[in-house]
Structure 1
Amino acid sequence: MAVDLPDEHRMIRETVRDFCETEIEPIAQEIEDEHRFPAEIFEQLADLDVMGVPIAEEYGGLGGDTLMYAVVAEEIGRVSGAIGLSYVAHTSLASKPIELFGTESQKERWLRPLAEGDYVGGWALTEPGSGSDASDMDTHATKEGDEWILDGTKQFITNASEAGSVLVKAVTDPDARYGGISTFIVDPRADDGFEVTTVWEKMGLNASPTCEISLESVRLPEDRLLGDDGDGWTQTRKTLDGGRISIAALSTGLAQGAYEHAKTYSQEREQFGQPICEFDAVRDTIVDMYRKTERARLLTRQAARKYDAGDPVTRDSALAKLDASEAAREVAEDAVQVLGGYGYTTDFAPQRFYRDAKLMEIGEGTSEIQHLVIGRELGL
């Protein structure tokens, strides 16, 4: 495994890895089978002070950088894609935008409890009809006196059923297109009219709730507007730059976990009087799995370092997300194949990694959208 990390990052990695192997790995399949959000795990992650890794200490975070956050996300993904997904959605989508765009009072009221792990957060952009054109939204907010009134439906929203706050994108000026979208902070537990209408049964990642939410005349005070009216799409693009690094890190973790299971099995399983790793076909498969995982890790950490340096990162984050998500699916599929019949059973982890990995090629922009983004960055 690559060791190009500062000492502090390595220490955090080892602490989180030990926790993941001790507390998460033993229940990873159980919570998936039960479709249960493991609130107790997130409480323990809060006790480890990693629910706000890239958030400033003054707002309750750890004060780490994006590289440190990527390392933590990778370690969680290495044992549970579902916990990893809820974790990165909470951090990069629900928390970081408040730090980047919120007022001091908003940071104290809404960011601190997220960073300290009092509850998880959500981010509501996608709608039932919007697909990859996220700007094509029907959810709207109208100003009435000193209140905003939200109406609409959001789809595929991670953590919504468990969240203490959700950042909701809504149209405030229908004629302004990208310039007419704004972001609002909604409290699912207190704001009348907010309802989780569906928690989806999915191919994988079922310990991470994916929800449809309805907003019906949700009245919000003026101070729930994040940033200025019309800033929503600019905020979204900045958020997705960081969010794609999150998915790249989570994907790298999934690939790492699948690779490790396949490698260990290939060294222990014997056929025709020898470990199967000594057969060329299996050995070459394991080597390719390692190569793809290392490549994904390098691209992810490159994007994280550029983000931390304040450099433009759209191309790098899209490239890392594209490569790592496809690597996760390919490596997980190979892990199932290496284990043969056992790989298809829920007694072994590769089938879970395989199902979980597919979402990585869809969420935070599909692979096709990443090609589009990278092409534009290359001037094509």
Structure 2
Amino acid sequence: MEFALTEDHEMIRDSAREFADRVLRPNAARWDAEEKFPTEAIQEAAEAGFLGLTVPEEYGGAGMGNLHASILLEEINAACASVGVTISVHMSLMCSMLAKHGTELLKKKYLPTLADGSVLGAYCLTEPQAGSDAAAVRTTAVKVDGGYKLNGTKAWITTGEQAGLFVVYAVTDPEAKKGAGMTAFLVEKSYDGLEVGKKELKLGIRASSTTEILLNDVFVPDENIVGEINQGFKIALDTLDGGRIGIGSQAVGIHRACLEASTKYAAEREQFGKPINRFQAIAFKLADMATELDAARLLVQRAAWLRDTGQPSTKACSMAKLFASMACNRAAQDAVQIHGGAGYTKEFPVERYYRDARITEIYEGATDVQRIVISRNL
């Protein structure tokens, strides 16, 4: 069993850390306060090859795997979770999905522009009435000459405002049992009838755009079907396994930022004549944060390795996402507590980490959904 990173892993880590320190960390608080999508930062990330990391080389990407992506995403999210989730969704829910399930025609048409970042991808599964119950999708796709007409509303779409390409899950066989009649379609933003709806005002990851996507008689050609007709739900679930590695990596990154900020503050802040890290109550919080960080990282990287090696990984992905997100939220709460009143102000980044951490237990499968998945795979 080998725990050391390879030279490629270290190169990705160091490159991402340099980018995070130079571009993201100095600006993350401002982007959050302004709820401003960091277009320039995403463009620079694309130029560095981050957006095409998991795209096969023949389509313009780096041809790397989930473990490389996890290492990159930890570094990005330790500085800015909004940029982190934008890159994660683009890589795991669009690029990796298309590379695995798309036809050669679709891969040649779309992967090069996704890899170079000239087009951002978004994942449209959730609907107002279909959240944790993802099979309850009501968006319809009706067969017409040469393709399908899509109608419906998608909700909570990350990068909905900026994305140029959407994978949309719609019901193609309304007579089939729940979830069995769903198909995945690639839908360009330019298609007539597609509109960006309401933008959500959020607690955290505020520099990441989250919107509705409205589909009104959107014509999608037959060639833009991903996988087979009526097999979309299987693709959606398989894709979410990879997405959970991405969000687990996000949780690890936020958690690490909480620990680093708390360790620094506890060494500098003095009360009763000594640094507060010399009080057992504070020292034990730091010890628990550090231990759970290592455990979360190991779970996430194991899940990534299993998926990269083609082994069954659904249970491992859910375990990683479950533990990492819960540990991240505990770390964020303790980070604010260690900072005391200062942690409740915007002068210190832990208040942003606290807000950003909360979503990791909600999106790409809420905490109790992960428990359901795990229990069914025991």
TM range (shorter): over 0.9
Match of residue 215 from structure 2:
215
Q: How does 1:141-156 map to 2 (within 5 A)?
A: 141-156=141-156
Distance in 2 separating the partners of 1:322 and 1:355 = 18
CA displacement at 1:5 relative to structure 2: 1.2
Q: Is the 8 A contact 2:139 2:150 kept in 1?
A: yes
What SS is found at the alignment partner of 1:360? helix
| 1:276-300 alpha-carbon deviations (Å, 9 max, x no partner) | 1111111111111111111100100
Question: Structure 1 residue 109 and structure 2 residue 109: aligned?
Answer: yes
Distance in 1 separating the partners of 2:225 and 2:64 = 27
Q: How does 1:179-258 map to 2 (within 5 A)?
A: 179-188=180-189, 190-258=190-258
Identity of aligned residues (%): 39
Q: Which amino acid aligns with 2:163?
A: A
Distance in 1 separating the partners of 2:248 and 2:4 = 17
CA displacement at 1:147 relative to structure 2: 2.1
TM-score, length-scaled by structure 2: 0.98
What SS is found at the alignment partner of 1:163? coil
CA displacement at 1:225 relative to structure 2: 1.1
Match of residue 266 from structure 2:
266
Distance in 1 separating the partners of 2:257 and 2:52 = 24
CA displacement at 1:7 relative to structure 2: 1.6
Worse-superposed segment, 223-232 or 148-157: 223-232
When the two chains are superposed, the root-mean-square deviation of aligned CA atoms in Å is: 1.1
Distance in 2 separating the partners of 1:202 and 1:92 = 23
CA displacement at 1:4 relative to structure 2: 2.6
Q: Which amino acid aligns with 1:5?
A: L
Worse-superposed segment, 147-156 or 108-117: 108-117
Question: Structure 1 residue 43 and structure 2 residue 43: aligned?
Answer: yes
What SS is found at the alignment partner of 1:217? strand
Distance in 2 separating the partners of 1:4 and 1:320 = 19
Match of residue 280 from structure 1:
280
Question: Structure 1 residue 8 and structure 2 residue 4: aligned?
Answer: no
TM-score, length-scaled by structure 1: 0.97
Q: Is the 8 A contact 2:259 2:286 kept in 1?
A: yes
| 1:319-340 alpha-carbon deviations (Å, 9 max, x no partner) | 0000000011110111011111
CA displacement at 1:3 relative to structure 2: 6.7
Gaps of 5+ in 2: none
Distance in 1 separating the partners of 2:4 and 2:368 = 31
Worse-superposed segment, 221-230 or 197-206: 221-230
Worse-superposed segment, 315-324 or 234-243: 234-243
Distance in 1 separating the partners of 2:186 and 2:236 = 14
CA displacement at 1:191 relative to structure 2: 0.6
Q: Which amino acid aligns with 1:53?
A: L
Q: Which amino acid aligns with 1:199?
A: K
What SS is found at the alignment partner of 1:179? coil
Match of residue 358 from structure 2:
358
CA displacement at 1:178 relative to structure 2: 2.3
Match of residue 121 from structure 2:
121
Match of residue 133 from structure 1:
133
Distance in 1 separating the partners of 2:226 and 2:116 = 20
Q: Which amino acid aligns with 1:182?
A: T
Match of residue 341 from structure 1:
341
Match of residue 296 from structure 2:
296
Distance in 2 separating the partners of 1:245 and 1:17 = 19
Distance in 1 separating the partners of 2:115 and 2:3 = 28
Give structure 1 regions of 4+ aligned residues with deviation exceeding 4 angstroms. Answer: none
Q: Which amino acid aligns with 2:287?
A: V
| 1:197-227 alpha-carbon deviations (Å, 9 max, x no partner) | 1110011111001111110000111111112
Distance in 2 separating the partners of 1:71 and 1:142 = 41
Distance in 1 separating the partners of 2:327 and 2:52 = 27
What SS is found at the alignment partner of 1:26? coil
CA displacement at 1:270 relative to structure 2: 1.4
Distance in 2 separating the partners of 1:60 and 1:344 = 45
Distance in 1 separating the partners of 2:151 and 2:221 = 15
Q: Is the 8 A contact 2:122 2:165 kept in 1?
A: yes
Q: Which amino acid aligns with 1:180?
A: G
Q: Which amino acid aligns with 2:112?
A: R
Gaps of 5+ in 1: none
Distance in 1 separating the partners of 2:284 and 2:4 = 26
Distance in 1 separating the partners of 2:72 and 2:327 = 19
CA displacement at 1:81 relative to structure 2: 1.0
Distance in 2 separating the partners of 1:76 and 1:261 = 16
| 1:35-62 alpha-carbon deviations (Å, 9 max, x no partner) | 1110101111111111121221111111
Distance in 2 separating the partners of 1:85 and 1:346 = 22
What SS is found at the alignment partner of 1:142? strand
CA displacement at 1:116 relative to structure 2: 1.5
Match of residue 27 from structure 2:
27
| 1:253-284 alpha-carbon deviations (Å, 9 max, x no partner) | 01001110000111111122211111111111
Distance in 2 separating the partners of 1:268 and 1:249 = 29
| 1:227-246 alpha-carbon deviations (Å, 9 max, x no partner) | 22112011111101111111
What SS is found at the alignment partner of 1:135? helix
Distance in 2 separating the partners of 1:320 and 1:16 = 22
